[in-house]
């Protein structure tokens, strides 16, 4: 006969021991205070099976992972009136023995070039001048420049001129260091292979003579690919100049028309980088940091440069265009160009630039007033600004507050403006700015384009994935993307 069970009340000590045992064997290894290394050995069979299943989860698709970081890259910049005289010493300090000087036939006759040559001679530096740069370069003009550089075999490059000259010098440098590369190896995908630049390039000093492209700060070089009737280029942070010497004395010889068109490039660089998608919305996240694109999306550092450049351009560009003796305005526009270069060189541009490439590449015969060239030309700044009113009406819904801040930079009182009106308000402010600037084609119709040309312009825009990927509100589905671009081109015919 079994004796009756007697329940003994647990003592305080036995309760504590029981609690500790429970904590030890019930808490997983991830518990920071009570981790148990034997946790997985004390599970029931069902729990172990469930745990194993966790390791068999569907893998994440890297192509859909959003970016989580941004990085800033820009050339070293020296800014000041008279700084050009130091370029010979700079090259000597870099150890340069054999320098390829790159310019165009117009700049070669200007004071900027004579100051540069004097600086090289003073330091006893051997150099050879390539002066055949084409304004708005074509692929064949770039190849001609590369063919000049390869046999000369320089150990440094010096670009004196506007964006076309600096971009040409960048590509001369690239293909001199990669002499056996195919021309399309580094050209932006999908037109080219878009290979990363992994070798160290030669030192390149850029001395801008225009206030617009900001090319002295960026790793981007643009040209027309004639066979595709579209602009493309190479973009990689390793392509950027070693040093940009921004000397306001060198912009004093710019004609009024060049002041205007180059300044409009600054305007759109600022607006587009300020309104680009945020860097942490861009996909895909690179699997290796060497593949992180130069154009990354709006970010807190680029924002500072872009907004400041926008405000300066609105204030000083009309003055620089109107009065060739307004040296303060010229000084401020060169500074704005450089600041915008740092901003867009890291955040990127989007629709105005993406749509400008077929506009200039498919030029029906327009030659802009004030440009001394022997061929039709739509200056780059003109081609980007002509769609700007329609572009920012389209993008405003993505971030009304940013678009209203941009409108405020144009002097608009936004105190009582509704957020849903941001695009209309900014688009109207840009239209008025262009009209008051003077001698600007207010629409594609004034460049010679007809409604029947729009489909070809759309087709020329589609390959510009490098910038279209940063465009707010643009659908990723191809037909929807084409329809959006078509509407923007239609609204840009005249205004």
Please state the rounded mean pLDDT for residues 149-157.
Answer: 97
Distance CA 341, CA 479 (A): 33
Residue 178, pLDDT > 90, answer yes
Q: Which of 33-37, 322-326, 387-391 has the lowest mean pLDDT?
A: 33-37
Mean pLDDT over 316-324 rounds to 97
pLDDT of residue 21: 52
Which one, of 207, 157, 206, lies nearest residue 177 by Cα? Answer: 157
Whole-number pLDDT of residue 373: 84
Q: How far apart are CA 244 and CA 237, in angstroms?
A: 15
Neighbours of 472 (CB within 10 A): 21
Average pLDDT over residues 33-54: 46
Q: 272 pLDDT exceeds 80?
A: yes
Question: What is the 8-class DSSP label of residue 202?
Answer: P
pLDDT of res. 58: 60
Does residue 316 contact residue 332 with C-beta atoms inside 8 Å? yes
Q: Which of 359, 377, 380 is nearest to 456 (CA)?
A: 359
Predicted local confidence at residue 16, as pLDDT: 52
Residue 416 banded pLDDT, cuts 50, 70, 90: very high
Average pLDDT value for residue range 299-319: 98
For all residues of the chain together, what is the average pLDDT? 90
**pLDDT > 90: percent of the chain:** 84
Q: Please say if the pLDDT value at position 288 is more than 60.
A: yes
Residue 312: pLDDT band (50, 70, 90) is very high
Question: Residue 479 contacts by C-beta under 8 Å, 6 or more apart in sequence?
Answer: none
What is the structure's pLDDT at 230?
75
* HSE-up of residue 440 (Cα within 13 Å, Cβ side): 31
pLDDT of residue 24: 47
Least confidently predicted of 290-294, 321-325, 402-406: 290-294
pLDDT category, 61, cuts 50, 70, 90?
A: confident
- Pick from 104-118, 145-159, 222-236, 415-429: least confident: 222-236
Distance CA 22, CA 44 (A): 15
Range with the poorest average pLDDT among 120-124, 292-296, 297-301, 442-446: 292-296
Return the half-sphere exposure (C-beta side, CA atoms, 13 A cut-off) of residue 81: 7
| Tokens linked to 282 | 């861009």
For residue 14, name the pLDDT band (cuts at 50, 70, 90).
low
Average pLDDT over residues 219-223: 95
256-275 helix and 327-347 helix, angle to the nearest 10 degrees:
40
pLDDT reading at 304 higher than 90: yes
pLDDT at 29: 45
Looking at residue 198, its pLDDT comes to 94
DSSP 370: T
Statement: residue 53 has pLDDT above 80: no
- Cis bond leading into 363, ω under 30°? no
pLDDT of residue 64: 85
pLDDT number for residue 17: 54
Helices in 110-162 by DSSP H: which ranges? 111-122, 139-152
Q: Where does the pLDDT of residue 95 fall: very low under 50, low under 70, confident under 90, or very high at 90 and above?
A: very high
Three-state SS at 441: coil
Predicted local confidence at residue 229, as pLDDT: 78
Mean predicted confidence (pLDDT) in 306-331? 97
Share of the chain above pLDDT 70, in %: 88
């Amino acid at each position: 006969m079994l004796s009756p069970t007697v329940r003994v009340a647990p003592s305080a000590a036995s309760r504590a021991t029981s609690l500790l045992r429970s904590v030890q064997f019930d808490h997983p290894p991830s518990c920071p205070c009570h981790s148990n290394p034997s946790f997985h050995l004390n599970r029931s069979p069902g729990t172990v099976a469930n745990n194993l299943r966790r390791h068999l989860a569907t893998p994440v698709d890297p192509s859909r992972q959003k970016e989580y970081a941004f990085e800033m890259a820009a050339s070293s910049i020296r800014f000041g009136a008279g700084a050009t005289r130091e370029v010979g010493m700079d090259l000597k300090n870099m150890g340069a023995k054999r320098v390829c000087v790159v310019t165009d036939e117009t700049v070669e006759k200007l004071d900027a070039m004579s100051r540069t040559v004097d600086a090289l001679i003073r330091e006893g530096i051997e150099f050879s001048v390539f002066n055949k740069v084409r304004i708005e370069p074509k692929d064949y003009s770039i190849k001609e420049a590369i063919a000049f550089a390869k046999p000369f075999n320089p150990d440094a490059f010096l670009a004196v001129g506007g964006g076309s000259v600096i971009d040409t010098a960048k590509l001369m440098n690239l293909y001199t260091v990669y002499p056996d590369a195919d021309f399309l190896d580094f050209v932006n995908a999908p037109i080219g292979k878009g290979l990363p630049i992994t070798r160290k390039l030669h030192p390149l000093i850029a001395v801008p003579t225009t206030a617009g492209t900001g090319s002295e700060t960026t790793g981007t070089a643009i040209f027309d690919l004639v066979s595709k009737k579209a602009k493309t280029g190479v973009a990689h942070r390793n392509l950027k100049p070693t040093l940009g010497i921004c000397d306001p004395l060198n912009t004093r010889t710019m004609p009024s028309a060049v002041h205007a068109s180059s300044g409009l490039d600054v305007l759109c660089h600022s607006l587009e980088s300020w309104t680009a998608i945020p860097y942490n919305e861009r996909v895909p996240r690179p699997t290796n940091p060497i593949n992180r694109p130069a154009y990354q999306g709006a970010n807190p550092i680029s924002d500072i440069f872009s907004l400041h450049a926008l405000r300066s351009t609105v204030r000083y560009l009309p003055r620089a265009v109107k009065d060739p003796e307004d040296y303060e305005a010229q000084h401020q526009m060169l500074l704005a160009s450089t600041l915008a270069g740092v901003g867009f060189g890291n955040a990127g541009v989007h629709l105005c630039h993406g749509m400008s490439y077929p506009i200039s590449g498919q030029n029906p015969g327009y030659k802009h007033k004030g440009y001394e060239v022997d061929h039709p030309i739509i200056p780059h700044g003109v081609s980007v600004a002509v769609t700007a009113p329609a572009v920012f009406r389209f993008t405003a819904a993505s971030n009304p507050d940013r678009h209203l801040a941009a409108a405020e930079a144009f002097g608009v009182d936004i105190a009582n403006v509704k957020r849903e009106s941001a695009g209309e308000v900014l688009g109207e402010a840009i239209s008025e700015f262009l009209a008051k600037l003077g001698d600007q084609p207010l629409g594609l119709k004034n460049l010679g384009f007809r409604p029947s040309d729009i489909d070809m312009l759309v087709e020329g825009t589609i390959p510009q994935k490098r910038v279209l990927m940063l465009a707010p509100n643009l659908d990723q589905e191809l037909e929807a993307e084409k329809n959006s671009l078509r509407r923007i081109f239609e609204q840009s015919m005249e205004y």
